[in-house]
């Protein structure tokens, strides 16, 4: 929880507003998977401006931006990156799946796909750039049958997975790229598609 509070502080700092910001909950993102956006560019099923009675559930979990009077997870003013537009989809049969927590905790070697270049993607539901990176990975999966993507979801910075793998990583997502022999080629911190492509090229050399 401390990690989430810290994240909240960082969000607050990046917003430059008074100390009245909250933390991202999954409430908005979960509704986003269900479908349409409203006029506020928010999942219609979650928008508190369309349906003010929903605000209470967001406030209850601390997902609230005081200055803008919307959930933090819906505040485009504080988070210009925020987007709920549909992502490019991975093709059917793409080699993409979640790594079970117990496997991830034993090491990343067990997460790689033998014979393929593997990208291990550490992400969190409160991470805005993670969503954009997921879309970029889907695009690459669509064009590259030799690519595998393995997802590791972290709850917060105190999550044992974060303690094990994200020390010294200031931002998510963290992508760890492995070559087809399972050797680590490099890491990308944050949403940086060009860096990812450079590492994918290196993994094939
Ligand atoms: Zn709305
Ligand atoms: Zn705001």
Q: How close is the Cα of 178 to the center of ligand 1, in Å? A: 42
- pTM (two decimals): 0.79
Calpha distance 171→176 (Å, rounded)? 14
Pick the more confident residue, 28 or 141: 141
Give 96-203's CATH code, choosing from 3.40.30.10, 1.10.3720.10, 3.40.190.10, 3.40.50.720: 3.40.30.10
Confidence of residue 184 (pLDDT cuts 50, 70, 90): very high
Among the bound ligands, the one closest to the CA of 50: 1
Q: How close is the Cα of 8 to the center of ligand 1, in Å? A: 23
Calpha distance 32→48 (Å, rounded)? 13
Closest by Cα among 172, 180, 170 to 202? 180
Q: What is the pLDDT of residues 47-70, one digit of tens each?
A: 999 999 999 999 999 999 999 999
| 19, burial (CB in 10 Å: exposed 0-12, middle 13-18, buried 19+) | exposed
Confidence of residue 11 (pLDDT cuts 50, 70, 90): very low
Q: With b meaning 16 or more CB within 10 Å and e meaning fewer, what string describes 22-45?
A: bbbbebbbebbeeeebeeeebbbb
Closest by Cα among 201, 83, 88, 184 to 141? 88
Among the bound ligands, the one closest to the CA of 65: 2
> So where are the chain's domains?
2-74, 96-203
Among the bound ligands, the one closest to the CA of 69: 2
Confidence of residue 140 (pLDDT cuts 50, 70, 90): very high
């Amino acid at each position: 929880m401390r990690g989430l509070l810290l994240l909240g502080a960082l969000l607050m700092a990046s917003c430059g507003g008074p100390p009245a910001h909250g933390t991202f909950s999954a409430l908005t993102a979960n509704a986003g998977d269900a479908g349409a956006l409203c006029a506020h560019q928010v999942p219609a099923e979650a928008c508190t401006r369309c349906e003010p009675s929903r605000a209470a559930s967001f406030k209850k979990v601390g997902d609230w931006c005081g200055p803008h009077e919307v959930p933090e997870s819906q505040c485009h003013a504080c988070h210009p990156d925020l987007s709920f537009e549909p992502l490019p989809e991975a093709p059917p049969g793409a080699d993409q799946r979640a790594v079970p927590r117990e496997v991830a905790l034993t090491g990343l070697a067990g997460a790689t796909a033998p014979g393929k270049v593997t990208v291990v993607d550490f992400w969190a539901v409160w991470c805005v750039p993670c969503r954009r990176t997921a879309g970029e990975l889907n695009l690459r999966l669509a064009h590259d049958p030799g690519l595998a993507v393995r997802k590791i979801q972290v709850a917060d910075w105190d999550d044992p997975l974060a303690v094990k793998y994200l020390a010294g990583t200031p931002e998510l997502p963290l992508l760890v790229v492995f070559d087809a022999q399972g050797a680590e080629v490099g890491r990308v911190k944050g949403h940086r598609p060009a860096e990812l492509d450079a590492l994918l090229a290196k993994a094939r050399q």
